[in-house]
């Protein structure tokens, strides 16, 4: 096939116009065009008066070599092969089937690859299946009854299940295509294969993770829920078994740790077992909510509301003279702010959108970076304790009932407590208490956020809306811990493979899934399958 780059269409043009553009670019007739598929679609909105879709197209034509030879155009080339290549299996005997801790993106894709290579993995998830999990989360949002083992952080699909399902990533890795293709096979919209900013939505993700589970089990794998690894059995520096739920002992040669960024009790257990852990930088802050129409108008001007554009998003960053940086993260167009606590008497926020992105508010994490120098002490888990301090303060400030503390942006900038919402209705599930956020975040975070607001308003008109709502606190932007590993993906304990966001090697659904694939490749490239 031939790859054509840089084909532009206006918002008023359609698929027929795309085909005409292909014929014109290749200088061929309709009968010579066999078929084509969109490889990438992006949006060029730099000029609000003329917004275009920009396409990269893979085209199958008659006499391809002749067409390529006669056209001297650097934007036309042969389509590279994007098929995923499984690693050649190793020769070392595997006495027990590999175990994977966690069924977030890293765990599911590690399990999928191992299942596809005949290793019959066992996936252990501390939380429940996704349907049971949805009921537990809704109960928490409605009543404040928190299940510490089954919540927004723990359960089938991981923390990403209750998110926007954003699939953008900064990593350049051929495995990203494998992730997207498998998600589509599992029921995600086919457009995620080519859109510049793909997302699935929390509603569709719930079905996708169930279908991934079914695929793994059909290939000989097994998934057990409500099964938390509470201890490791290590002999002569090598893992030989695990303890599940403090009782069941299971022999294993291999454990892929895909535990997520909130498995604090597991981090503590690993530290006790002398698995090497390091404190890691991350970010904390708030969720900020604006009317979605304001964001649309700021980004698309007079074309706001066009059915082909959908809800607009944004991504902003600010570097303070103090040396700290603030930025927006995990922006959820047409979404809602949700309670994401996993420990009692804490308040944690996150953002979530359904596929349609059609609720009145836009929300985004509004964060400031923190480093181990900010943490209380030098313990490997000092970042966890740092998170807890502010989550507990937010719990108290919110009324000690899992309501979240919230403040109007205009009041926040002048250090005035808020007593009621303004024109923007807070979307937080459970509920909010209008107050001051002063003691919910470190002073240097608050001051950096204030500086950033003024800077962001220059880049996104309307960001400094006085009635915009700040809801605290967001502390789980990434893991506060890194579980060290070598070039073979093993920790200092042989057979222990840290992977994904919780281990400190990823930051989002796709990058976590890719890291899970890499861990599975490391196992598959070293060992024979159990059946052999």
Query: Contact 444/371 with Cβ under 8 angstroms?
Result: no
How many CB atoms within 10 Å of residue 286? 32
Domains in the chain, please, with CATH?
Answer: 2-78 (3.30.70.2700), 99-278+479-524 (3.50.50.60), 281-474 (no CATH)
Rounded to 5 degrees, φ, ψ at 292 are -60, -35
- Single out the residue of 338, 93, 136 nearest to residue 226, CA to CA: 136
Which residue's entry shows tokens 């990403």? 160
- Spell 78-94 as b/e; 16+ CB within 10 A means b: ebeeeeeeeeebeeeeb
Angstrom distance (rounded) from CA 193 to CA 171: 16
Going residue by residue through the chain (532 aa), what tens digit of pLDDT does each one get? 899 999 999 999 988 899 999 999 999 999 999 999 999 999 998 887 789 999 999 999 998 888 888 888 889 999 998 899 999 999 998 889 999 999 999 999 999 999 999 999 999 999 999 999 999 999 999 999 999 999 999 999 999 999 999 998 888 899 999 999 999 999 999 999 999 899 999 999 999 999 999 999 999 999 999 999 999 999 999 999 999 999 999 999 999 999 999 999 999 999 999 999 999 999 999 999 999 999 999 999 999 999 999 999 999 999 999 999 999 999 999 999 999 999 999 999 999 999 999 999 999 999 999 999 999 999 999 999 999 999 999 999 999 999 999 999 999 999 999 999 999 999 999 999 999 999 999 999 999 999 999 999 999 999 999 999 999 999 999 999 999 999 999 999 999 999 999 999 999 999 999 999 999 999 999 998 765 4
Secondary element (H or E) of residue 6: strand 2-10
DSSP alpha helices (H): ranges in 373-442?
382-397, 409-413
Quote the longest CA-to-CA distance of the chain: 73
Handedness of CA 158, 162, 167, 170 (dihedral sign): negative
pLDDT value at position 204? 96
Q: CA-CA distances (angstroms) from residue 79 to 59, 68, 85, 86, 392?
A: 9, 12, 17, 21, 53
Query: Contact 445/461 with Cβ under 8 angstroms?
Result: no
* Beta pairing class for 248-251 and 238-244: antiparallel
* Beta pairing class for 122-124 and 222-224: parallel
Beta bridge partners of 287: 365, 471
Sheet holding 248-251, edge to edge: 229-235, 238-244, 248-251
pTM over 0.85: yes
């Amino acid at each position: 096939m031939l790859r054509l780059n840089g084909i532009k269409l206006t918002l008023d043009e359609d698929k027929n116009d795309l085909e005409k553009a292909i014929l014109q670019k290749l200088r061929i007739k309709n009968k010579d065009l066999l078929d084509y598929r969109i490889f990438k679609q992006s949006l060029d909105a730099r000029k609000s008066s003329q917004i275009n879709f920009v396409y990269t197209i893979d085209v199958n034509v008659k006499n391809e070599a002749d067409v390529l030879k006669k056209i001297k155009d650097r934007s036309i080339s042969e389509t590279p092969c994007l098929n995923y290549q499984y690693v050649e299996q190793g020769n070392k005997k595997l006495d027990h089937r590999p175990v994977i801790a966690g069924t977030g993106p890293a765990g599911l894709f590690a399990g999928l690859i191992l299942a596809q290579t005949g290793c019959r993995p066992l996936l252990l998830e501390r939380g429940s299946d996704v349907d049971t999990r949805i009921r537990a989360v809704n109960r928490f949002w409605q009543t404040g009854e928190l299940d510490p083992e089954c919540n927004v952080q723990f359960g089938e699909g991981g923390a990403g299940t209750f998110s926007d399902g954003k699939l953008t990533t900064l990593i350049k890795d051929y495995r990203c295509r494998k992730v997207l293709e498998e998600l589509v096979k599992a029921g995600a919209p086919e457009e995620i294969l080519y859109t510049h900013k793909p997302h699935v939505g929390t509603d569709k993700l719930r079905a996708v993770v169930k279908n991934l589970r079914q695929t793994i089990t059909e290939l000989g794998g097994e998934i057990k829920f409500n099964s938390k690894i509470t201890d490791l059995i290590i002999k002569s520096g090598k893992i030989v078994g695990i303890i599940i739920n403090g009782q069941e002992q299971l022999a294993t040669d291999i454990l892929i740790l895909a535990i997520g960024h909130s498995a604090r009790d597991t981090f503590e257990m690993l530290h006790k077992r002398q698995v090497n852990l390091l404190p890691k930088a991350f970010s904390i802050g708030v969720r900020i909510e604006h009317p979605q129409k304001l964001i649309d108008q700021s980004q698309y001007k007079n074309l706001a509301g066009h059915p082909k554009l959908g809800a607009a998003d944004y991504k902003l960053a600010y570097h303070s003279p103090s040396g700290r940086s603030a930025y927006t993260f995990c922006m959820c167009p047409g979404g809602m702010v949700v309670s994401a606590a996993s420990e009692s008497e804490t308040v944690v926020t996150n953002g979530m959108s359904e596929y349609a992105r059609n609720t009145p508010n836009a929300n985004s994490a509004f964060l400031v970076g923190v480093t181990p120098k900010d943490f209380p002490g030098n313990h490997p888990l000092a970042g966890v304790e740092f998170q807890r301090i502010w989550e507990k303060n937010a719990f108290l400030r919110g009324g000690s009932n899992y309501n979240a503390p919230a403040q109007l942006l205009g009041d926040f900038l002048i250090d005035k407590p808020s007593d009621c919402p303004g024109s923007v209705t807070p979307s937080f599930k459970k509920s909010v208490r209008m107050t001051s956020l002063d003691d919910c975040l470190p002073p240097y975070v608050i001051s950096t956020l204030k500086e950033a607001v003024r800077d962001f308003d220059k880049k996104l008109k309307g960001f400094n809306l006085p009635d915009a709502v700040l809801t605290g606190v967001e502390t789980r932007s990434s893991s506060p811990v890194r579980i060290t590993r070598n070039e073979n993906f093993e920790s200092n304990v042989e057979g222990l493979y840290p992977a994904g966001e919780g281990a400190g090697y990823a930051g989002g659904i796709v990058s976590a899934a890719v890291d899970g694939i890499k861990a599975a490749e490391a196992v598959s490239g070293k060992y024979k399958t159990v059946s052999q």
